[in-house]
Amino acid sequence: MFEDVYLWIKALHVIAVIAWMAGMLYLPRLFVYHSEAEIGSKQSETFKVMERRLLKAIINPAMIVTWLAGLYLAWSGHWFSFGWLHVKLALVLAMSAVHGFFSRWLKDFAADRRPRTQKFYRIINEVPTVLMILIVIMVIVKPF
């Protein structure tokens, strides 16, 4: 029975990670387009709604489920003594920090503040991708 629960939690974890990453890759892309929209325009207001819904309905819940399921898997699998998991946790903490920055920037857009350029958002859009690649390597390859 324990193995069945472990596998169901593992499936939930993978599903949550996919949802979290989808949002983390899409939100900064919305920021790129939003930064080009005229403040107060219908387009800008539409982006505000899209960004808020993406964060509140998908990204935030997916991150929470990812963390909870992942910590359960690490605990029940006795992985906490392995170096690869330490690196993975550090990378997931970094991803969570990026998530926090995205949340703050969303608030800036909601208040019609735009201290960053579209080029900045185009570049920052790559950070979750790089972190994701490194996390997957840690989990699959377990290099140490």
Could you count the other beta carbons within 10 Å of the beta carbon of residue 81?
7
Residue numbering of the annotated binding site for heme: 13, 88
pLDDT in tens, the chain (144 residues): 778 999 999 999 999 999 999 999 999 999 999 999 999 999 999 999 999 999 999 999 999 999 999 999 999 999 999 999 999 999 999 999 999 999 999 999 999 999 999 999 999 999 999 999 999 999 999 999
63 vs 7: CA distance, rounded Å: 19
> Do the Cβ atoms of 132 and 21 come closer than 8 Å?
yes
The pTM score is 0.94
| Binding site listing | 13, 88
Query: Cα separation of 59 and 99, whole Å?
Result: 8
